[in-house]
Amino acid sequence: MALVIGREALDRLLDHAEALWPEEACALLIGRHRPRHCCKVTRIAFSENIAADKCQSFEIDPSLRIRLEMELQEGEDAIIGLFHSHPDGAPVPSATDAREVREPEMIWLIAGISNGKTVDTRAFLPNAEPGFDPIPLTIIND
């Protein structure tokens, strides 16, 4: 499994995360999901972080998720993953992230933001432990 994302889409995600620092930013990744293959992001949907403590966690607005699922029912695209930032933290899943996994096929794209600037971005897939396995992240020119 690997994640492919366009430079423009990734830049929009990172700009969003930097603008919200020191809070966590979040979004849903929409694209084509082919298990055990390459998943390509075709669009992103920013979500308000509705967590009680936005500096320590994130929660995607469920109304956005429901609206997107209804919109995507008839097409080839689907929600393939989620994005969130770790303000002043590493771009790796936290213990909290591991506890929050509900869909093991969802890709997690995480950006580490330090002092309002992106440090690194990495992609992961949940495993059965609970935990995550890193997956390749390919950034393409749009």
Task: Report the DSSP beta bridge partners of residue 2.
Answer: 38
Cα–Cα distance between 112 and 99 in angstroms, integer?
A: 19
What digits encode the pLDDT tens for the residues 17-68? Answer: 999 999 999 999 999 877 667 899 999 999 999 999 999 999 999 999 999 9
In the numeric block, the tokens 């689907």 are attached to 78
Topology of domain 2-137, per CATH? Cytidine Deaminase; domain 2 (3.40.140)
For the entire predicted model, the pTM comes to 0.95
What pLDDT is attached to residue 36? 65
Max intra-chain CA distance, the chain: 42
Can you give the residue ranges of every domain in the chain?
2-137
Q: How far is CA 112 from the centre of its chain?
A: 12
What digits encode the pLDDT tens for the residues 94-107? Answer: 999 999 898 988 99
What digits encode the pLDDT tens for the residues 118-140? Answer: 999 999 999 987 789 999 999 99
